[in-house]
Structure 1
Amino acid sequence: MSKKVINQNTNYDSELLNSIESNFIFDENPINRLKNTAKDLKKENDVNQIDKEKELNELKLQINSINDCGLKDNSKKIVLGDGNINSPIMLVGEAPGVEEDNIGLTFLGDVGDLLRKMLMAINIKKENIYSTYAVNFRPPEDRKPTSTEIKRYSHFLQKQVSIIKPKIIILMGSSAMESLTGLNSKISIERGKWKEVIVKNTTYNVIITFNPSYILRVPENKKHSWEDLKKIKQKIVDLKLNI
């Protein structure tokens, strides 16, 4: 004959349960455990925005403080860059022209009009991307920057890339190509090919294409630019980027 084991806590547990009110309220709506996420994300984005603006301003001061630069000495204004600093797309041109030098913004005049049309062909507004140049001052008589000038300013371009942190970089023209990739071959050979460029331990998707100013001079190459634009559009889709 075995003895029944008695749980001496049974009476206590029963009394405790009976003492707890049972008027619970049930709601079919799920508990929103992420109700602060949107607010926190906005706060984080605001902080990133301020940090980027601060770093870009500091970079602008660095570029403006360089000495013995013929480009700077013969220019009216520095053209650092403009557009959406949080954009996943960064566009790099060759150098400012007359209008850009006067106003301090990128891709103005006929060149800017053509660029806007090119971007709109793949449903992108220029103001929704970030654009800059391989060199930040206008070369005299709008000549092509020399390799020495490109190399000198490439250091600043790399810093700018590290600040913007784009998912795609579009290099328009041979100066932009040389500045970020180090390539000095013919752009007709390198254009339209996706490359990976490492800047400060981060890998970036890069594509090389013709500069709009070149297309204005040689309009028969529009077809090649269109081919490149379609590849850019496909990459945007593949990476699921929101622009």
Structure 2
Amino acid sequence: MKTGTIENRNSFLENVAAKLGRSRRSSGVAKPDWQTNPQWDVYRNSSQEGLADVLKKQCLLIHTQYIETDAAGLSEKVLHVINDYGAKSAVIPKDSRFGALGDYMALWKENGISVHEWNHKLGDENITACERADIGIAFSDLTLAESGTVVQFSSRDKGRSIHLLPKTYLCIVPLSTLVPRLTQAAEHIRNLLKNGEHLASCADFITGPSNSADIELNLIVGVHGPIKASYIVVTDL
């Protein structure tokens, strides 16, 4: 993994110390040992099922439909959401986890639904397909229970346009991806870096459908991007 180059560090730190009216400290500096760590304590002892309950309640606040199923019922639930949204065209990433849906391509075709699978070799054709799609469907990589946020790591096989451009959005959430909040998600990303693992060039944090509010805080849902969103939590994935 390549690392960046830090330039002008010494002059910057010396300038900061001067503004503080003291000389620069080069030793004896340690990270404080805080007595309270609320960022770690929230939902610390929650089970995955408990986090799912937190997510379910949060979905009511972010205007997102919450559905729960097991792997055996996943394909049926996905098709139900597609039909409920009246979608006839879908875009999906190239993701091996779609194998959990069985022969979904044939099933969707039988129901008159066309599918575009992201293919990096097609370039901008993928973005055009997303712009025209009725629904974008993807699996969550991480899921923040507290805020109802799904995290998507983009790659050449999983373009971020899938989550942002279609009219509606469906995210399949394996129970195993649930973490309490942003703190744990940041730790996960940090550990990827520490272990030298590949890290996506873009990580999208998506909280329900698109929202906008004016200066008077009048919330409008679906101004830009998906106007509706659903999460399907799969209890045994």
Task: Give the TM-score range, shorter chain.
Answer: under 0.3
TM-score by length of 1: 0.25
Larger Rg: 1
**Quick check: which one's helix share is greater?**
1
**Structure having the larger proportion of residues in strand:** 2
TM-score normalized with structure 2 length = 0.25
Higher relative contact order (CA 8 A, sep 6+): 2
